[in-house]
Amino acid sequence: MDISIKEHERYASKANLSKGINDVQKAIDLLTKTREAVVADPQSASSTVTRAQKPLKDCFASVKEDLLEVYRGNGKYQKTLEAKFKDKPFPTSDNNALATQTPLINRAIAMHLLREGQFDVASQFLTDITSATHHPSPPSTTPTHSPSAEESLSSIDPIHSPTLRHSFEQMYSILSSLRQHRDLLPAIAWSRIRSQELENRGSNLEFELAQLQFIHLFDTQGRDAALAYARAEDHHFAHFQSRYLNELSRLASSLAYQPSLASSPYRALFLAQGTWDDLARSFTREFCSLLGLSAQSPLYIAATAGAIALPTLLKLQTIMKDKRAEWTTAQELPVEIPLPPSYQFHSIFVCPVSKEQTTDENPPMMMPCGHVVAQETLCRMARGSRFKCPYCPSESRPVDAVKLFM
Amino acid sequence: MAAELTTTKLNPESHLLLDQPLLRLPQELLRKNFKTAQKHFERENVLMQNELTKLGSSLRNGTTEATAAVKPLDAMIQRLHTLKRKMESLHEEEQVLHEASRRRLSHLNDLYEMNSLADVKYDQWSAVRLDRLLVEYMVRQGYSASAWALAREKGIEELVDLGVFDRCERVRRSLRGGSLDECLAWCAEYKVVMKKTDTSLEFELRLQQYIELCRRDRFVEARDHAKKYFPQYHEGHQEKISVAASLLAFKPDRRQHTWYSQTRWDELAALFIDTHHQLFSLPSQPLLLIALSAGLSALKTPSCHSKHASSTANASSTTTSVCPICSTELNELARKLPYAHHTKSYVENDPVVLVHEKEGRVYGRDRLLEYCKKIGLEEGFVKDPTSLHIWPASELKKVYIS
């Protein structure tokens, strides 16, 4: 960074008022002495006072000089900052469609706070937004950007209902048992209730929790406790049998090695350090998914993606302003914004012929040869009759094409 | 996926964009702090030297007795003590601001230590940034208690300017409630640094005082007020000043002028916010909204608001993750925004398709088979994770996507 901490410290230690204060003190001392001299020798008061005039002037001159130094320092630092942010104007506000969406923004924030486990802040936030909607600041005649109270409340309503809050409270209480107390039972109880849904998703969570519980008991209380658990869970381990036969037999075999597990082929099973964290993560993920929510806060991902995208968008804004160009397709951004791969969620299909992204209105169509183009492209090429695939020699009819969902 | 379409490259220099106010705002406060000190000093500077010269000459020509010289000297010493005290408290404020800047600088410098956007440290840094943006949004919306609660909970009080925004919100509210006092006090405090901003705020406030006097039929006072305050604003506000003069001509019962309506107060509040944000180099809208409108579009795809379920990002299987734009939190918010521009298709490796009645769902072969294995499906069969149909594996068809 072009502003280093050292540079700032240098600036802060030089450009401050302390010297000026010292010089004001000198003026005070001077006048105090003058006063004493006048009291001690009233006869020469006139000359004493006159003699003090020059030194007082000097004192003030040095305070002035001290202040000037602060002024210069501030100015220089200000310039450094300006240079640093010179090419970075904030986007103009008139094209921000979000400015009028306060209730939706508030809802997103409230849900973010809940999913992050910030329950106290979330309650405060709900109180604040409710009182703000109930008492809009005194008789306002500009309802344009403050939607009516009912409107805001209805769109916020889902977060006012306690269900979501309870769900996340449950999630955090399960997570804290798991992480802090190594207590898996609440998580196991939850996964058992959700067993069918988890299985439909192809999730191994329920089994992994039971497995870790077995290992944990083995580790902390010995073989008998672990076996007792497995037996008590018998009906459940039986339920696991079809899907997890291999894993179950591994667990059973490991018991044979008991005193020297560390050198057994099963040590990975028992000594893996990250297991608890991994399990906590996959629990969070499954829990959120069953609520239809993504595992990481969408608000976090969107704000981070925004920070990554902004430099590109601002460059674009500057160029368009220079060229006085208007970007007309309000539907699609005019530039490609590269994001980290973990920020890609959907498959994207760009028609190789028209170069357009496919949409509901213009979906991707697969020809019998397995090649894909956008529907509009297909219609243009075919004109109702047989046509040749642009990628291979095979011919097909539009009716043979299959609509794809990516 | 082609390398140029995704990136984990982190360029801290261009990345620090939303963070400008972090450094600029304390600097503006420092400037104000300094100017205030200078103002205090300049007043004493001239006055003190005059006093002493005057005392000297009056002693010389005998107008003042030597014994009476102590009193003016005491008064001068007293004044200097007051000046010193004022400067000391400004110096304290200055140190707080310097320290705040230093910490903020150090927080921003952390970004320069990171290798890429995939760095875990970047995630942590970005989480702090989101908290900062949230606090700023809350305080700007007037949700002050939430803002403080979040800042405290996250320990980021030093990275947010709650004091400044709280004050701003208080002034805005009082203006909309029809009171000028808070705003006049603010102007008096910031007058020293307002010269560089081109604002008519002060004039409009004086004009409003005048209007209020007229509203209460206190025309004599109104005229005095106009004489006292309007001449300095004559240039640039001539038109309004002549309209103001005409207010005096209307009988109270015929006051139809728009200046008497609430709109005037709302406009004043808006003008104050403009002036305030301009003074502190703050964007006119919350930083969170700037970040979100860019981020939502960068992430949005045509699939996010499609009426058909997406094959790649949904909650139905453990091998997919829910897209943030499809998630309840943001879906409605992103609806009216443009979607991201892509020039190349992006699909999973080895895409295969399951066709059913002229419609096909595309999946990456490996991911589909992994899912089938995880749900314990019999070998030789595949299950469509979206429609939950089960097919013989021979129905899997390769699809070519370029």
B255-312 confidence digits (pLDDT tens):
667 787 888 889 999 999 999 998 898 988 899 999 999 999 999 999 888 888 777 7
Token pair listed for A319? 């160029």
A366 vs B contacts (CB less than 8 Å): 353, 360, 399
Cα torsion angle, B287, B291, B294, B296, sign:
negative
More confident residue, B318 or A245: A245
More confident residue, A265 or B41: B41
A108 vs B contacts (CB less than 8 Å): 329-330, 333
Within 8 A by CB and 6+ apart from B80, the residues are A24, A27, A28, A31, B44, B48
Q: Compute the nearest-CA separation of B369 from chain A (Å).
A: 11
Nearest to B60 among A38, A46, A52 (CB): A46
Parse chain B into domains and list their residue ranges: 9-114, 163-279, 300-341, 351-398
Count CB pairs under 8 A between chains A and B.
491
Give residue B402's pLDDT.
Answer: 78
Interface test with B, best of A127, A284, A346, A397 (most B CBs within 10 A): A346
A368 touches chain B (CB under 8 A): no
More confident residue, B215 or A171: A171
Contact assignment for B329 to A111 by CB distance below 8 Å: yes
Give residue B2's pLDDT.
Answer: 39
Contact assignment for B49 to A60 by CB distance below 8 Å: yes
pTM: 0.85
The residues in B 83-122 lying below 8 A from A, measured between CB atoms, are 83-84, 87-88, 90-91, 94-95, 98, 101-102, 105-106, 108-109, 112, 117-118
Contact assignment for B346 to A348 by CB distance below 8 Å: yes
Token pair listed for A204? 């191994």
Instruction: Find out whether B77 and B2 touch, Cβ atoms under 8 Å.
Output: no
The residues in A 252-281 lying below 8 A from B, measured between CB atoms, are none
Contact assignment for A52 to B346 by CB distance below 8 Å: no
Confidence of residue B49 (pLDDT cuts 50, 70, 90): confident
- Report the alpha-carbon distance of residue A110 to residue A125 in Å, rounded: 7
Helices (H), A291-359: 298-322
Token pair listed for B341? 């521009």
CB atoms within 10 A of CB A204: 20
State the virtual CA torsion across A287, A291, A295, A298 in degrees, nearest 10.
-160
- Report the alpha-carbon distance of residue B259 to residue B208 in Å, rounded: 9
- Report the alpha-carbon distance of residue A378 to residue A110 in Å, rounded: 46
Nearest to B52 among A56, A289, A359 (CB): A56
Give residue B3's pLDDT.
Answer: 41
A303 vs B contacts (CB less than 8 Å): 126, 129-130, 133, 288, 291-292, 295
Which own/partner pairs from B197-205 qualify as long-range (CB within 8 Å, at least 24 positions apart)? B197/B275, B197/B278, B197/B279, B199/B271, B199/B274, B199/B275, B199/B278, B200/B233, B200/B236, B200/B237, B200/B271, B201/B271, B201/B272, B201/B275, B202/B233, B203/B233, B203/B237, B203/B240, B204/B268, B204/B271, B205/B180, B205/B268
Nearest to A112 among B106, B293, B329 (CB): B329
Per residue in B357-390, pLDDT tens? Answer: 888 889 989 888 888 887 778 888 998 888 888 8
The residues in B 44-63 lying below 8 A from A, measured between CB atoms, are 45, 48-49, 52-53, 55-56, 59-60
Q: Which helix (H) or strand (E) holds B354?
A: strand B351-356
A180 touches chain B (CB under 8 A): no
B124 touches chain A (CB under 8 A): no
Give residue A93's pLDDT.
Answer: 54
pLDDT at B220 over 50: yes
Q: Which of B211, B216, B212, B190 is nearest to B201 (CA)?
A: B190
A18 vs B contacts (CB less than 8 Å): 91
Nearest to A141 among B94, B102, B262 (CB): B262
Give residue B80's pLDDT.
Answer: 93
What ipTM was estimated for this complex? Answer: 0.87
Contact assignment for B359 to A334 by CB distance below 8 Å: no
A59 touches chain B (CB under 8 A): no
Nearest to A302 among B77, B261, B299 (CB): B299
* pLDDT beneath 50, residues of chain A: 136-156
pLDDT at B317 over 80: no
